[in-house]
A and B are shown apart, each in its own frame.
Chain A
């Protein structure tokens, strides 16, 4: 039994391995491992404009490959990460970044949900406070107590 389970586990791992594979081809990989790490990191933040919900690190599209090459060339020539982002934004707009930048036009996107949450929280609290003021907890009057005991005894009999 243990053998069978081990076999299945190995099989599962082998089958799922390719899911993790980036599109980077061996010939693209840089000699300098530090630069390669930066290249991979940059590539994962850059949108492939052909497939649009994939990063250029994941995409096999030829444009993605060209962009990966450009990223690596610029890294070799000493560009900073921001230089490379700026280069791409100038040509393709902010959409080329998978993470939209925080700026005046995207404040609603970034802070809108937070604003709505706190506005809701505030309104709920105000509502609860006001309700308590409108309906203060008064003890039952004599009449109400009598009525209540009648109802309870009737319930017991029935």
Chain B
């Protein structure tokens, strides 16, 4: 029985090895960071509109409803990848999307929406990227889920897709809806 103690270092090594190997095996991308803004109130913002037909975005606009806030830019490749899916969400009544146009030229952004369609409830222009920094954005596209009280509940880095939405965002929306109804 006493001899078992010599297995100690081996067990210690195996545990550590498994701990470090798991994220690699699962294919977790270490560059994707957890948000420091979860459960925090949305930062102060007051963004001018991109289009004449829709108002810009301020804090008032983002409080009172469960919604997505999507940082996008016409120069951003992955934003194009997710755009079709955003259009589908926009057409359905699942959840409204607010767009924040990150460090973009107004003309280019308008053309982008004209060509690909406009899924957004409202769009605000973040010309110098300061609003994005306040939200902890480190690369477009990023999408935030906001609850009725205007708190950030989830952040997704990179392009959205149906599977990501179903797996990560839908469940949170369901929980939030239950909380407010119950």
Contacts and interface: CB of A to CB of B under 8 A. Distances in A.
Given A70-B133, A91-B133, A49 B138 contact: yes
Interface string B129-168: 1100111101100000000000000000000000000000
A93 B135 contact: no
Contacts of B36: 89-93
Contacts, number: 37
B80 interface: no
A52 interface: yes
- Interface SS majority for chain B: loop
- Interface majority SS on A: helix, strand, loop or mixed? helix
Given A49-B138, A62-B103, A95 B129 contact: no
A66 B133 contact: yes
A150 B128 CA distance: 93
A91 B129 contact: no
Interface in B39-53: none
B69 to A, nearest CB: 15
Interface of B: 31, 33-37, 103, 128-130, 133-136, 138-139
